[in-house]
Structure 1
Amino acid sequence: MKEIDPTPLAFRELDRAAERLLAAVETLSDAEAAAPSRLPGWTRAHVLSHLAAQAPALERLLSWARTGVRNDQYAGREARDAEIEAGALLPAAALVARVRDSARSWQRAAEALPEPAWDATIVPFTGETCTPRRILVIRLRELVLHLIDLDVGHEVADVPAPARDIVLDDVVGYYAEAEKVPAFTLRDAEGGELARFDGGGPVVSGTRAELLAWLSGRDDGALLDAPGGLPVLPPWL
C-alpha cells in the first residue's frame, strides 16, 4: 500500500492536481456535463459528483484520525451510489462549485491535521487498514485519473511526473498484492525494473505514463513493448 508523508511538497502536488482539474471543467455547459465520460455508465456529471462527494468522505477519515472516534468514509455502497446519482442531476456550475469547495475544505483539513494523527489507524471504504498517509495517495490518485476520465482533453501523458509516479507506484502495489495476476516483469522505458509479478516472467515495458495508463485501465497498452503479448490482468479497483 503506497503512502506518502505529509510534507509541503506533497500538499503542493495535491493542490496543483485539484487546480488542474478545476481549470479543465470550470466552463462546462450543462450539455457538456451531461455527455458521457470515459467511465462506462457515467456522464461527466457523475465523475464530478463523485469527486465532490469523495473529498468530504476522505475528510471524515481525517476526523477519525484526529479524534480517535470512528468516522466511516461512507455509510455504505448504496448510500455512496445514491449520493453520486443525486449530485449528477445538478447544473454544471453547481457541480463544479461543489468540487471546488470540497477540495478546498479537504486540503485545509489535511494540512491542519496534527502530527500524532498521521500515525493513527483508520479504515477506508476499500477495507484496508492504514494511516492518513494513505489517504493522501488516494486523494491524489482520484484527482489525477478522474481528470482523464472526464474526457476534457487531458491524457495520462499530461500528468506531471511527481504525481504520475506516486499514482503508478500505487497501482503497481495493488497488483503486487492482487490475486490472479500472471507472471511478468514490468520495466520502464529506461530499463528500470518496477515490479516482478508472481516471480517474474515476460517483460512488459514502456514509458511510465504508458504503463500507468494500461495498468489503471485507461488505455489498451498498444504502445507498450510486450514481445510475449500483454498479460491479462484482473480489474483494478
Structure 2
Amino acid sequence: MLKEIPPTRESFAALDAAAERLLAGLVGLDDHGIGQPSTLPGWTRGHVLSHLARQAPALERLLEWARTGVETPQYASREARDTEIEAGAHRTAAALVADVRETAAHFRRTVARLPAPAWQATIRPFTGELCTPRRILVIRLRELELHHVDLAIGYRVDDIPAPALEIILADVLGYYAEAADVPDFTLRDGQGAVLARFGTGGPVVSGSRAAALGWLSGRTAGSGLVSTGELPVLPKWL
C-alpha cells in the first residue's frame, strides 16, 4: 500500500523543513550552475527546480478536488506537464529559486487551510492511484527530498533526516509491493530487520535504510548494500 501521513503539526513541520533545506542549498547557485546537468537524464538543475515549482500548484489542484468534490486533474496530460517544466527551466537562477520559494509557501498555506472533511476525500494523482490528500503530503515531501539529491549540489540520500527518510522509504516499498516484474529478494536494514520481502526466494540485500532508499529510488546503483547473490535488477520506479 502506498504511504499516507496524517495532516498533523509534525507532518507540516517535515514539509517546511524539507523546503528550507532545499532553499538553503540553493544559496549561491548562479545562472551557470542552474544550466549544469542534474543527476536525472536529460534534465539540468533548472529542469529540476522548474518541476518542483510547477508541482506545487499541480498538487493544489488535487487538494481543490478534495475540497470541492469537482474532479480537477493534477495535470491535463504528460505532454502538458513536460511542456510546463521545459518552459520554466531556462530562467535565471534568481527567478527559479524565487518560484520554488513562493510556490512552496503557497502550497503550505493551501494545505493548512484544507477543511477537515476534505482530508478523507478520494482523489487520483497523475500516477493513477486512488488516495486521500494525506498521500499528497507524502508526494510533496518525497519530491522535495529526492529532487534535492538530484540537483547534485552536495545533498545526499544519507542527509535526509530519519523521520522523512522513513516516510519516503515506506512509500517506495509500497510502490514495489504493487509493481509487476519485481524479482525475488529480501531487503534487510543494517541491524538485520526485514524491511520487505518480494517473492519467496532470491538473495538477501542488506544495508542502511538510506542505502536501501538510494537503490530503490534509482539514485544509486546499490552503493552501501551487500547481497548474498547478484544484486537484483529492479523495474523502474515511477
**TM-score by structure 1 length?**
0.98
CA drift at 1:225 = 1.3
The reply to whether residue 158 of structure 1 matches residue 150 of structure 2 is no
Offset at residue 180 of structure 1 (A):
0.4
Paired amino acid for 1:203: V
Q: Cα 1:15–1:230, aligned 2, differ >3 Å: closer, same or farther?
A: same
Cα offset, 1:230, TM superposition: 0.6
Residues in 2 aligned to 1:62 and 1:178: alpha-carbon distance in whole angstroms: 26
Corresponding residue number in structure 2 for 1:33: 34
SS at structure 2 position matched to 1:124? coil
Aligned to 1:135: 136
Secondary structure in structure 1 of the residue aligned to 2:226: coil
Please name the residue that 2:44 is paired with.
43
> Which residue identity does 2:111 align to in structure 1?
A
- Secondary structure class of the residue paired with 1:18: helix
- Residue ranges of structure 1 left out of the alignment (5+ in a row): none
- For 2:38 and 2:191, the matched residues in 1 are separated by 33
Q: Write out per-residue CA displacement over residues 125-179 of structure 1, whole angstroms, 9 at most, x where no aligned residue.
A: 0111110011111000000100000000000001100000100001111111100
Identity in percent = 66
Q: 1:196-215 maps to which residues of 2 (within 5 A)?
A: 196-215=197-216
Could you tell me whether the CA contact under 8 Å between 2:34 and 2:44 is conserved in 1?
A: yes
* Match in the other structure for 1:52: 53
Structure 1 segments, 4+ long, off by >4 Å, are none
Partners of 1:109 and 1:26 in 2: CA distance: 26
AA aligned opposite 1:180:
D
Q: Does 1:195 align with 2:186?
A: no
Rounded Cα–Cα distance in structure 1 between residues aligned with 2:223 and 2:50: 31
Q: Find the aligned partners of 2:160 and 2:218 in 1 and give their Cα distance.
A: 16
Counterparts of 1:23-172 in structure 2, within 5 Å, are 23-172=24-173
Q: Secondary structure at the match of 1:129?
A: coil
1:70 is paired with a residue whose SS is: coil
Letter in 2 for 1:224: L
Whole-angstrom CA distance in 2 between matches of 1:26 and 1:57: 25
For the structure 1 residues 200 and 9, does the alpha-carbon distance in structure 2 shift closer, same or farther, using more than 3 Å as the test?
farther
CA contact 1:26–1:93 (8 Å) conserved in 2:
no
Gaps of 5+ in 2: none
Contact 1:47–1:146 (Cα < 8 Å) also in 2: yes
Name the SS for the 2:227 alignment partner: coil
Residue deviations 1:215-237 (CA, integer Å, cap 9, x gap): 00001113201021211110111
Call closer, same or farther: CA 1:50–1:129 in 2, change over 3 Å: same
CA distance in 2, matches of 1:139, 1:232: 27
TM-score by length of 2: 0.98
Q: Is the 8 A contact 2:208 2:224 kept in 1?
A: no
